[in-house]
Amino acid sequence: MRRVAVLLIYSINGINQRFLSSHFSRSRRMHILVINCGSTTVKLRLIDSRQDVVVLDGQADLEQQPARLALQFAGQNISLELTENSSAAALEQLARWWQTHAFALPVDAIAHRMVHGGARYHEPLAVTVDNVEALQALTELAPLHHPPALAAIAAAQLSFAHLPHYVLFDTAYYRHLPEQALTYAVPESWRTLHGVRRYGFHGWSHRHAVRAAATLLQRKPAELRVISIHLGGGASVTASRLGLAVDTSMGMTPTAGLPMATRCGDIDPMIPLHMQQAGLSAAEVDHALNHASGLLGLCGSEDMRTVLLRAEQCEPAACLALDVYCYAIRKYVGAYLVALGGADAIVFTAGVGEHSPEIRRRVLGGLEELGIVLDAEQNRTTSGDHAVHHRSSRIAVLTVHSEEEIEMAHSLSHFLQGETACPQPT
């Protein structure tokens, strides 16, 4: 019965798409509810896309017992207990609470974050039966991320049946990657039949980093060469020119590139085969590379704060973990300086990037001859959008608070008003 209801809602929304463009074009001010669902958390934000203002901020930790939905609205903190630890329960509770506050919370559309759009999807995608089935077929490209996102879409369709729903893709920012950056030197059949290529991830975070850098430097995004460094549980580096991504460290999957909290990053591609020949199954290798590697594999902790504290105490494993982590970032910075022919800004963002002066110092320290000079005092800044470079630095070094949901709302608003979803910045 539940599936019948969901399919019915999909069908109704599919019909409604015919009328959306004319409706949305009448007003440039839009309120977008962004649903960002992970395996253990659900983030909900209502964004005024014209002013980039968060009207409602919510999050549910599905591992908490009992699970609760925490909301911030109109200066108030609200805690709502969930009936079960699921995204469906969080969205159902939000919908119930919403009924008593709808007068203050106009919503035009709902945006769902999806990690992987493959080679096909770049623009926001309306939620319909056919589209959802097509997205299910991409699950093997992002097996950790797609199932909870698809579950959240189905749940949101039931709780907010009267609203149009769209899927937005992390990979969309990389749709203009040049052929030499996205192509792997593998057999043609792998590339054409199996979609083996570089896709890139953390796109919304890197796109925001470019826009924020332009604001801080009082220049236009299209004038800048930016190296953005997203350091959180996942980590990636992206090179952007003229407001467009031209290269990025993550690859066909989010496991490639930098060592992360539990992911290995770049390794010799023969290592997985070697470990299978040593007796591990494909599933065991997959689990090890995605869940037991990175910082966790190097020193037994995936929390950067713990690793830094242990390194301060000169613990060898923690010191090695930091050296491996920062050296990998430093190499990508050097590579992208070459790829871009220089840079106007290096931007650190996400939890570790924004909040860890020590990581920024370890990554960029000693690069004065390349025109990168940190200001020790400014670099102590631990949050927000700031310049942390010395006045003598030829390349700006910035910290930026990651605002993926604002970028998604901004993009969907443009799309619904008949403009390109990710317009080239001017």
170 is catalytic: yes
Q: In whole angstroms, what is the distance from residue 75 CA to residue 309 CA?
A: 35
In a domain, 321, yes or no: yes
Which of these three, 124, 157, 175, is where a domain ends? 175
Per-residue tokens: 128: 């319909």
Mean pLDDT of 184-203: 94
What CATH number is attached to the domain comprising 89?
Answer: 3.30.420.40
Q: Please say if the pLDDT value at position 13 is more than 50.
A: no
| 415 inside domain | no
If asked whether residues 267 and 371 sit together in one domain, one would say yes
Query: Are residues 131 and 21 part of one domain?
Result: yes
Q: Are residues 229 and 137 in the same domain?
A: no
> When comparing pLDDT for 128 and 179, which is higher?
179
Q: Is 420 left (phi over 0), alpha (psi -120 to 50) or beta?
A: beta
Active-site residue among 170, 247, 344, 385?
170
Domain C-terminal end among 150, 175, 200: 175
pLDDT of residue 39: 63
Tens digit of pLDDT for each residue in 64-94?
Answer: 788 888 888 888 888 888 888 777 788 888 8
Is 181 a domain residue?
no
Provide the number of structural domains found in the chain.
2
Task: Return phi, psi of residue 55, to 5°.
Answer: -85, -40
Does 109 share its domain with 16?
Answer: yes
Q: Are residues 23 and 140 in the same domain?
A: yes
DSSP string, 213-262: HHHHHTS-GGG-EEEEEEESSSEEEEEEETTEEEEES--SSTTSSS--SS
Q: Structural domain of residue 335, as residue ranges?
A: 218-404
pLDDT mean over 266-294: 96
Q: What is the pLDDT of residue 6?
A: 39
Helix (H, G, I), strand (E, B) or coil at 373: coil
Q: Is the pLDDT of residue 26 over 50?
A: no
Asked whether residue 159 is assigned to any structural domain, the reply reads yes
Give residue-wise pLDDT tens across range 381-412.
878 899 999 999 999 999 999 988 999 998 89
Check whether 29 has a pLDDT greater than 80.
no
Together in a domain, 28 and 163? yes
Q: Give the side-chain half-sphere CA count within 13 A for 226.
A: 33
Residue 65 CA to its chain's centroid (Å): 27
Across the chain, mean pLDDT equals: 87
pLDDT of residue 14: 41
Band (103; pLDDT cuts 50, 70, 90): low
CA separation (Å) from 356 to 124, 186, 304?
34, 38, 9
The model's pTM: 0.86
Residue 198 belongs to a domain: no
Residue 195 inside a domain? The answer is no
- Whose CA is closest to 108, among 169, 51, 34? 34
In a domain, 196, yes or no: no
The rounded percent of the chain whose pLDDT value lies above 70 is: 90
